[in-house]
Every structure is written in structure tokens, then in C-alpha cells.
Amino acid sequence: MSGTVESGGKVLGGLGADGGGGGKGNGGGQLVARGLGVFARQREATVLVVTVALLLYFGISHNSTFVTQTNAVDLLSEIMAPIAIIAIGEVLLLICGEIDLSVGFIYTLAPFVTLYAVDDYHVPAFLAIILGLLAGVVAGWVNGFITVTLGVPSFITTIGTGFVMEGLALTFSHAEPSPTPPSVLSAGKWLGVPGNPWQWAPFVWAVVLVLIFHVVLTRTRFGLYTISAGGNLLGAREAGINVGRIKYGNFMITGFMGALVGLQTALYTNNVDPSAGGYQPMFYAVIAAVIGGTAMLGGSGTILGAFLGAIVLATLTDGFDIIGVSSNPLPIIFGGAILVAMIANVQLARLRGSGRSL
């Protein structure tokens, strides 16, 4: 039995030793491990290698276009940040055994709440932004209520609430986009607007939220109970954990993240658009989570891994665009890349698993 764990230790030790030898990904992993104390887990290390390899590939082969400030902003603030921020919520939900398919429509709806608060009710812009974020939290609460209290599986709950929110956004806007009010633009530039330095804001938000929620997941009671709820629901209940409250919390966090990204997009594009959001950002976030090592069946996952997953997806999107792959075959390459990443993940996990003597 002790052999099991020893071999686990060897794997980790091996990683560290490799990193010293020059494997750039592992070296990076080791560095971060010192800082955060959690990075030595192999799951994250695998994604980290892929992330670094992709960045290196595009960085070296298309140096002049990839390694520029404009592209860095495109890649990190415009493409990566929304995926990473929503992925935080999805990771937490997946870990506790739920999912939110509606978060992309919370993204759609939240800017409208802000818009109408300003236009129709003359709410001060800053307050209207807060209301938009709160609307996301409320939407998350509704998802929690229907799932936890009324007992509908979250997969179904959030398909339903997603449609409702989509319909609300379309109805109120008459399917017409409108420009973001100037007062909101100036009151909300800390959320991210074009031009230096605020164009970096979405990226900074993503990094800060990832770090905060990484700590929440790994170093707080709430995080432990989230893992417990998904890892062994009955056992968690037996231990007296209020599992429902944990799930409510995670739905509300996810709703907040959806609203945040929606508002950021409305500010960044100067446009409140009923066709923004939808399923795509949600799917990107779920894929980022899963590529990052979060189990679809709950019980385990990491937010740092999802962050790396978001970088991988953003790098692929941005990189293929730069290489000049036309937009028609792009989904084929994209889908293929996701499948390869996931097959590698699953097979590696199987290899690791077979080392166990259970």
C-alpha cells in the first residue's frame, strides 16, 4: 500500500527534477509550486506544458504579429479573460456536482439591467453597474432554488432558465442592440474599456479572481465543502455539512461571473447586444475547466488548471486567426484540438490510475 503513495511521490519528484533539467513547462510548474504550494499536481502540470508549448509555437513562428501589445490584449483581455472568469464558476459547480448552462444568458441579460436602470430609471451609472452584477447573483440564486430546493437536475434547470433569460433580453431590446450609455462607460472603465491602461482590466480581473477563488477552493471551509458535496454527497451530509447552501453559493458565484463578463463585454465593445453571450462562452468555460483537470462527475478540480485551460483555448483561437486559417475550417481544428487535449488527459489519468494497487 505504501508503495502506491511512494510512487505518487516519485512522479512529483520526477517532475521537479525534470524542470531543473530544462523542460520549460515543468520548470515553470516547479516555480509556481513554491509560490502557491499546489502546482506540483500532475494534472495542472500537463496543461501547463501544453499552454507553454502553444505560446512558444505561435510566439516563435509568428513572432511579429503574435508578440505585440495589440495581440496580447486581444488574447488575454478579449478572448481569455471571459473564458477564465466564467470558468471559475463552472469549476466550482462541476466540483460540487452541478453545472450551469445558463451562465451565457446571464452574460446577455446583465448589461440590459444596467442599461435600463440608467436609461429608464435614471439610476447613477456606478450603481447601475452594481445592479447588473447583482442581477447575475439573483439569476444564480434562482438556478440554486430550482436545483437544490425544488430538486430539478441543474442540467435541465439551467437550460430552462437560460431560455427564459435569452427571451427576456430579446423581448426588452426588441432584438436590437443599443450603445452603452456614456455615463456607464466612464463609471465602469475599471471593468475594462479600450485603450491603455484600462484595456488590461479584464485580464487583471481574471487573474485576481482566479487567485482569490483558488484560495477559496483550496484553503477555506467553503472550498472543502464544495469538494465534499461533489465527492461524496451522502458522506458530506452525514458529517453534517449543509450541502444545499454550498450549491446555492456556487450557483450565485457563477451568476456573478456571468454578469461580470457580460458587463465587461458591453463596456469593451460599447454595445449592449442581445446576441452577445449565449451558449458559446459557457461551453468555452466548461471546456477550459475540463481541460484544466476538473472532473465532469464532480469531487475534484482546480481553478488554476481552468485558467490554463482558458489560455490554451484563447491561444488556439487567436493563434489560428493569426496564422491565417480561414474561419470556415477553424472549428474543425478547434474541435480536434479539444479532443486531442481531452484524450491525452483521460489516457494519462488512466496510466496514473493503473499505477495504483487498489
Nearer to another protein, 130 or 215 (CB): 215
> Minimum distance from CB of 352 to another protein (Å)?
10
Question: 159: Cβ–Cβ under 8 A, 6 or more apart, which residues?
Answer: 101, 102
Helix, strand, or coil (residue 150): coil
User: 39 by DSSP, 3-state: which?
Assistant: coil
Of 4 and 69, which CB lies nearer to another protein in the complex structure?
A: 4
Residues in the chain: 358
Residue 234 Cβ vs another protein, minimum distance, rounded to whole Å: 6
**CA angle, residues 263, 197, 116, in degrees to nearest 5:** 20
Cβ-based nearer residue to another protein, 241 or 325 = 241
Give which of 49, 84, 38, 42 is closest to 293, Cα–Cα.
42
Q: How far is the CB of 299 from another protein (least distance, A)?
A: 4
* C-beta closer to another protein: residue 120 or 238: 238
Please work out, in degrees rounded to the nearest 5, the angle formed at the alpha carbon of residue 177 by the alpha carbons of 176 and 182: 140
**Distance of closest approach, residue 207 Cβ to another protein, in angstroms:** 20
Rounded to whole angstroms, the Cα distance separating 313 from 338 reads: 8
List interacting residues with another protein (CB under 8 A).
1-2, 4-6, 8, 215, 219-221, 224, 227-228, 230-232, 234-236, 238-241, 299-300, 356-358
Least distance in Å: CB of 233 to another protein? Answer: 10
How far apart are alpha carbons 62 and 275 in whole angstroms? 33
CB of 231 to another protein, least distance (A): 4
> Radius of gyration over alpha carbons of the chain, in Å?
21
Please, which residue, 24 or 356, has the CB nearer to another protein? 356
Closer CB to another protein, residue 227 or residue 312?
A: 227
Alpha-carbon gap, residue 102 to 158, rounded angstroms? 5
34 or 122, CB closer to another protein? 34
Candidates 301, 341, 340, 334; CA nearest to 319 is 334
Q: Provide, rounded to whole angstroms, the least separation between the CB of residue 238 and another protein.
A: 6
Main-chain dihedrals φ then ψ at residue 301, nearest 5 degrees: 160, 160
Cell triple for 95: 466540483
Q: Which is nearer to another protein, 4 or 63 (CB)?
A: 4
Nearest approach, Cβ of residue 147 and another protein (Å) = 21
Beta bridge pairs of residue 178: 272
- The C-alpha cell at 42 is 500532475
Is 202 within 8 Å of 77 (Cβ atoms)?
yes
